[in-house]
Amino acid sequence: MAERSDAELVLEARLGDAEAFGQLVARHWRALVRRTERVVGDHHLAQDVVQEAFVRAHRNLRTLEHNTHFFLWVMRIARNIAVDCVRAERQHPLLELAEPDQIVACDVVSEPAPADSGARERAQEAARVWSAVKSMPERERRLMVLRYARGLSQRQIAEECGLSLGHVKVALHRGRTRLAGLVATFGGAPRQSAARTA
């Protein structure tokens, strides 16, 4: 039996054939990981990025135009995720708007102590950040607290939580993106330098 083309498998996957999409994943996985690793510089992170890219591709499969090559489409998705991860590593994350002791203090102190306007503004900003953190899903919140309140490295978090380093990097990137939106809803837009981490 002749091997089905990507276009045929995409068509069947659109009709709900999970096995067809699985064949697409198996066919292109190694090449995508290899190319993504050139961007992120880490094999495990590249695997997590490609996995996320396939998840997004499956979710948006109906938007794939008929004349678009499936491999190139998923490669673009993976590259966008990879570039976001690299960019986030090079910039200061949003939680660094507040010192760890301020973040912890905001969990137990309802009103910031009287201080000069600059200190008061920083304390209010820290309170908004912490309120946003507490509203995040539990697993995501735990990783953010371990990273920015307890100051653990990404490798230490991976070891403590039993996760791959790549998974932690992707999850923290997602968390920063979610947090940027949540802080805005809690009454304050993030600073420009931090907003770019989203």
Q: Which residue has the tokens 């203090």?
A: 105
d(CA 44, CA 33): 9
* pLDDT at residue 97 tops 80: no
Domains defined along the chain, listed by start: 6-90 (1.10.1740.10), 94-195 (1.10.10.10)
Which pLDDT band, with edges at 50, 70 and 90, does 90 fall under? low
pLDDT digits (tens, 9 = 90+) for 163-173: 888 888 888 88
pLDDT digits (tens, 9 = 90+) for 116-157: 566 666 666 667 777 777 778 777 888 888 887 777 888 888
Q: Which of 17-26, 50-59, 148-157 has the lowest mean pLDDT?
A: 148-157
